Amino acid sequence: MCHTDLEHPSDAAHWFARMHSGQITDHDRQAFEAWRNADPEHDRQYRNLSYLWQATSALPEQRLRDMIEPHGMPHRTRPGISRRKFGLGLAAGASALAMIGGIAVNAWWLQQPPDTLTLITKKGERRQATLPDGSVLFLNTDTIAVMRFYEDQRQIALQQGEVFFEVSTDTARPFIVDAGLGRVTVTGTRFNVRRDAQAMQVSVASGSVRVQAGNWWNPREHHLTADQQTRVVSGHDMDNVDHANVENIAAWMRGKVVFNNAPLTYVIDEMNRYLDMPARLEAPQLARHYVSGVFSVDDPQAMINALPAIAPVRLDRKPDGRVSILPR
């Protein structure tokens, strides 16, 4: 496939071929990022195809050829074609076929169908789930996590919310958490992952994890151990590794939220995670007023009611249940 054939790729299969052609330019990279960021579906399809490409590299070459050649027909592959190009053709062809048929590509379709489970909590709800491998997930409020277990790895797609993981050790099957902005890889440990609209945060209670983020051709990576954390913000920028009080971060597992000299805006945002109707701070001069306290997430209204006792504010309750927080 010549370079000019892909001058303006418009789908994941053609972009994948372009980016793996060995002839990409800075202009190609910029155009690729623009295409990938234009629609979340573009990014999902490209990542699925990347996983598929990784899967082909683990198969014997003869099996690859058997999968792409018509059954019972003699092989007519051109002499000298490399395994890389052959596998790339298989991956791109499978992706294009799936998209034409309107079928979502399973990144690991070359393996046996995985065990899949979707875990959901409502606003203000918490729950615990034990996975087939013995790992335990604790889900905080308003969380969606999709579990897929394969022969060689365990995957959790954290679509939104917060989960504390107690992962059973299995060196042969790493445990991977994909939180959109980054990925966390472990074999066995205890850690917390939170995914908001613009950021993901990883905090480790025990053991160690690898956090990866950024563009696939220039990723950033941190290795975290106990009482360490990092954040990845929108745009895939990764913060430095910081010390973390994981006991406070994961206090929600005990039904508590802990504020230690936290800005009032942050406190209200945290309370809104549990409130049915959001509270709104209408006192910008108090945005950086710092407060401390321990509250029950099971009684979010009590959290709001306590604000006048710890900050110079008053509450204005609206008929629809909303609360305005005004200066006192």
* 125-182: pLDDT as tens digits: 999 999 988 999 999 999 999 999 888 899 999 999 999 999 999 988 999 999 988 9
Cα distances (Å, whole numbers) of residue 292 to 194, 223, 255, 306, 311: 22, 31, 17, 11, 10
Place of tokens 């058997």: 66
| Other beta carbons within 10 Å of 224 | 23
Say what the pLDDT of residue 51 is. Answer: 56
Give pLDDT, residue 82: 52
pTM value > 0.75: no
According to the model, what pLDDT value does residue 326 have? 94
Q: What is the structure's pLDDT at 112?
A: 46
Residues in the chain with pLDDT values less than 70 = 1-9, 20-23, 47-114, 216, 235-236
142 CA to centre of own chain: 15
Query: How many Å apart are CA 321 and CA 275, to the nearest integer?
Result: 10
* CA 200/CA 158 separation, integer angstroms: 10
- CB-count exposure of residue 187 (10 Å: 0-12, 13-18, 19+): middle
Helix (H) or strand (E) holding 256: strand 256-263
Written as one letter, the residue type at 43 is D
Closest CA to 87 of 144, 49, 40, 137: 49
Q: Nearest-CA neighbor of 160 among 186, 108, 122, 129?
A: 122
Q: Which domains does the chain have, with CATH numbers?
A: 3-100 (no CATH), 115-247 (2.60.120.1440), 255-327 (3.55.50.30)
pLDDT of amino acid 97: 40
What integer pLDDT is reported at residue 22 of this predicted model?
64
pLDDT at 116: 82
The token pair that represents 98 in the structure block:
């799936």
Of the candidates 96, 93, 91, the residue with the CA atom closest to the CA atom of residue 108: 91
Tokens of 320: 């629809």
